[in-house]
Every structure is written in C-alpha cells, then in structure tokens.
C-alpha cells in the first residue's frame, strides 16, 4: 500500500530510532552504543573479553552499595561499550578516578551518603569537568543552569561553578540528599536526578508502585536506562582489570590534591609564579574559571592544587596582607627525600595480610591510588607483599633552589623499634629509601617543567609560558612533543 506522506513517515521513524539512545554524557562519542544487540557478550575479533552471565552476576554480587546491582541486557550493553566500543575513552575515564574519587568520597561522607554514589559522575560526564551536553548541562555532575542556581552554583562571564570540582560536588551531594529524603529509595532518587522529580512522580502514579523496575517503562527513554547505566559504571570501575583495561594515569600533581577557598583576586599566572606549578595543571584542576583568574569575592572561590605546592600558595596568600589562610588537614613537613623534585617513593613491606582499605589508611593514601601505583587487582594485600607509595616533596617557598626552604633535620622520620616510620604501623614496615644529596638535586631545581597534555603542541606550550618555541626545542632537544612528555620550559 502506497503511503500518502512519505516525508512524515521517515521523520517519525527517525525520531523513534533516535529516542532509544540515552543522553547521559557530554558528547555522543562518549555515550554507550546500544545499536547492537545489548546482550551480545561474545568478544569480536581482537576486542577485549566480556564477562559471561555467570561472571557478571558473581562480580556484581560481591559489591555492596546503595541499590541492588541487577543485571539485564541494557547493563550488559553498557559494559560492552566500556570494554569494546569506547575502549580508549574508558581508559581516560578510569584514570580520572584518581583525581576525583577521593574528593567525591570526602563530600559524600561529610553529608552521610553512600560512597558508591561517586559512580554517578561516571555516567553523567565520564569524569570530565569541562563536559557540556547538547542541552547545556555542564561539569562533572552535569548541572543544568537552573538546577545549578538552585544549589548556589554561580554562573557568570568569568566563573561557572558547575565545572568547579569542589563546589559542584558539594551541590550534587546536597541535591542527591534532598532527592533521597523525598523518595527514601536510591534508584528513584537517581532517576529523579536525571529527569527531575516531576517525571518520576508521574511514573509512580501511572504504575501504582514505588519500585524503579516496575515504573521503568513509564519513564522517559533516557531515564529508563539511567539506573542500568549506573550499575554498569559501578561494574567497570571495580572490575576493569578483568578486561585488560589499562587506565591512562594522570600526572601525580592531578592525583594528590587539596583545595582552599580564596577571596582575593589572583591570576593563574600569580599561582604559577608563587608555586612553580605548570600553568596547564592549574587550568586542568580549576576548570570553573573561564578566564584563567580567580575573581575577588566575599564568599570566595575554591582553588584546587597539588598538595605539594599548597604551603607555598598559603605563603603567597598570607603575604597579600588580607585574610589569614590555613588548611588544618594539610600535613606538610619539610622533606629530606627529594625524589625527582616533586615526589619521592616510599617502599613498605606488608607484615600480615590485610584489606587494601586498611593498608591505604595506614599509609595515608587513597585505596585507588595504592592500586594504581602497584598494579593491584585484589582487595586483599598479602603478607610479605612490597608496596610503593608516592609522597609529595612540599614547596614552602618557590625559588630557583627550592631545597633552600627545607629543613633537613625536621624531615627525618624517627624509626620505631620495628623499623617502621611513625605513620606506618601494624602490618607495615618501611624499607630504607636512598636520599639524594643537594648537589644531585640541583638538576631538578634549575627549570620549571611542563607535562604535555592531549592536543598540546610545542607552539601552544611556548605561548603559555611566553617563551619562543625555538627555545623550547633547543632546551629539550626535540622538534615534536607527545602526551606525557615532561618539558623544560623556563629557567628558574
């Protein structure tokens, strides 16, 4: 039978097909691809292996969180996308966990919420603080403009706090807390986070149920897949080693961070000059500032920086003659271990088997960091296992010879009778760590360094530091740069 309106027919068909794809991240390229059969769990060609149904159920059964981790074809489809379709993007996302998960867990604990809600940001933005969706949702937690304003996220020509890692996380945690108070069910709260309470309330009325899996068919297509997407994100963040996925590990300066609320007007260049920190690292950690400066504010703005440079930044802020700045939680002591000038490595031996969370707590680091630094795939650390832990070389005053600001005597750790350091007790013992002499450390103190990031060219890096590109070529004896390369950019 001939159709009278072929254009309308094809338009309707197009809308039907496109409505099936969830809108959960900043870019279509970052979305799970459900165009193939979602329960296809057979690896194709040289693709990474996928879990069998039995493996998937067993692994999810080991996890405890805020909701029941069910498996269905949609969950499997998302896992396939993480493992096979978007493998490289998954590796980058997994690396970003080392930057943001410690912050997320801190804020969730502060408000008394489950720690596994951190996986929601994986679904929302793939942990990209600069993420912007097709409809204008922005930041790690993908706040729309009006919801952001409801939760005190400032949006001006100079600042968008939806992209501020600290402020947006505080807002997201408050929003999730309010939604849970309304529904007393985390699956419904997550659905409401995605589509708004109005649509969830409507689905509850139509289904005569408050069970997400019952009301699911009455929700918008995107929201139907939201909880399954959360389950898949939870799975991949916990079991990615089972699929031979190697994360793209960020620079240590983007792993061990802390933050402070700043009220004075300062530029990123001021921060770089005061701390010796790479300009690009300041930008990466502070995506909420649109114009590379912190505006003056009575309420203040959060500035996120590596722990190692925070003492120098505090010194700079207190030298401005205004407020008195302190960070009580920052335990910065002068270093005798100089490592590469930024970080030094401590090696410890585990004396008795223990859970990685407890071991990490004793070592003063995050469990995800300890896993990454030692390529650990098991939550149980075995007796006799040797672990490597990175420690910051703190900058108290940035100068050409930063070592001059250090007190060699104050940095020496007192040994306990068991041979461990005071910060390492119980199941751990510290190994002797070679200490560089001052003359040997000089080579690390003569230049400011820049770590090359994605899509950066030598010319762009030269412009950042006001240095001729030719100077950088000669200084580093190179003509091109690659991601992760550490360049000398300026003599101090």
Residue positions annotated with a catalytic role: 124
CA distance 318 to 324: 6
Backbone angles phi, psi at 265, to 5 degrees: -80, 120
CA distance 283 to 58: 41
Query: Percentages helix, strand, coil for the chain, rounded to the nearest 5?
Result: 45, 10, 45
Query: What would the two tokens of residue 467 be?
Result: 């240095």
CA–CA–CA angle 312, 130, 122 (5° rounding): 105
Whole-Å CA distances, 246 to 101, 108, 129, 310: 18, 27, 21, 30
Long-range contacts: 457-464, Cβ < 8 Å, 24+? 457/481, 461/280, 461/487, 461/489, 464/279, 464/280
CA distance 142 to 257: 22
At 94 the three-state DSSP class reads helix
CA distance 109 to 172: 13
Q: Are 424 and 348 in contact (CB under 8 A)?
A: yes
């Amino acid at each position: 039978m001939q159709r009278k309106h072929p254009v309308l027919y094809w338009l309707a068909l197009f809308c039907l097909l496109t409505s099936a794809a969830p809108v959960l991240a900043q870019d279509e390229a970052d979305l799970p691809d459900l165009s193939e059969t979602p329960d296809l769990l057979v690896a194709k060609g040289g693709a990474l292996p996928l879990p069998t149904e039995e493996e998937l159920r067993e692994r999810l059964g080991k996890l405890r969180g805020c909701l029941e981790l069910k498996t269905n074809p949609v969950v499997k489809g998302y896992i396939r996308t993480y493992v096979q379709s978007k493998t490289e993007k998954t590796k980058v996302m997994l690396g970003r966990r080392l930057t943001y998960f410690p912050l997320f867990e801190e804020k969730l604990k502060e408000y008394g919420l489950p720690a596994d809600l951190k996986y929601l940001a994986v679904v929302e933005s793939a942990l990209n603080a600069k993420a912007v969706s097709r409809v204008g949702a922005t930041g790690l937690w993908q706040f729309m403009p009006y919801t952001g304003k409801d939760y005190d996220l400032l949006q001006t020509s100079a600042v968008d706090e939806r992209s501020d890692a600290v402020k947006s996380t505080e807002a997201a945690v408050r929003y999730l807390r309010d939604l849970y108070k309304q529904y007393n069910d985390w699956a419904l709260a997550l659905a409401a986070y995605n589509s708004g309470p109005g649509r969830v309330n409507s689905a509850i009325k139509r289904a005569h149920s408050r069970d997400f899996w019952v009301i699911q068919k009455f929700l918008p297509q995107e929201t139907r897949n939201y909880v399954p997407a959360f389950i898949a994100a939870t799975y991949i963040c916990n079991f990615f080693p089972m699929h031979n996925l190697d994360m793209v590990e960020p620079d240590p300066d983007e792993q061990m961070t802390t933050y402070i609320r700043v009220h004075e007007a300062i530029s990123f260049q001021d921060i770089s000059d005061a701390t010796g920190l790479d300009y690009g690292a300041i930008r990466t950690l502070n995506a909420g500032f649109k114009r590379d400066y912190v505006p003056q504010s009575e309420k203040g703005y959060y500035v996120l920086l590596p722990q190692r440079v925070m003492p120098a930044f505090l010194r700079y802020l207190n030298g401005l003659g205004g407020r008195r700045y302190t960070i009580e939680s920052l335990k910065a002591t002068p270093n005798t271990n100089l490592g590469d000038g930024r970080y030094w490595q401590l090696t410890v031996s585990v004396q008795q088997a223990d859970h990685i969370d407890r071991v990490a707590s004793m070592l003063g680091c995050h469990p995800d960091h300890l896993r990454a630094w030692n390529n650990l795939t098991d939550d149980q650390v075995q007796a006799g296992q040797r672990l490597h832990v990175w420690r910051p070389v703190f900058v108290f005053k940035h100068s050409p010879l930063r070592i001059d600001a250090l007190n060699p005597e104050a940095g020496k750790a007192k040994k306990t009778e068991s041979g461990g350091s005071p910060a390492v007790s119980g199941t751990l013992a510290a190994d002797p760590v070679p200490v560089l002499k001052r003359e040997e450390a000089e080579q690390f103190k003569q230049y400011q360094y820049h770590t090359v990031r994605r899509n950066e060219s030598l010319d762009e890096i030269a412009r950042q530091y006001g240095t001729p590109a030719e100077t950088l070529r000669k200084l580093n004896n190179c003509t091109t740069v690659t991601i992760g390369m550490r360049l000398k950019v300026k003599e101090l």
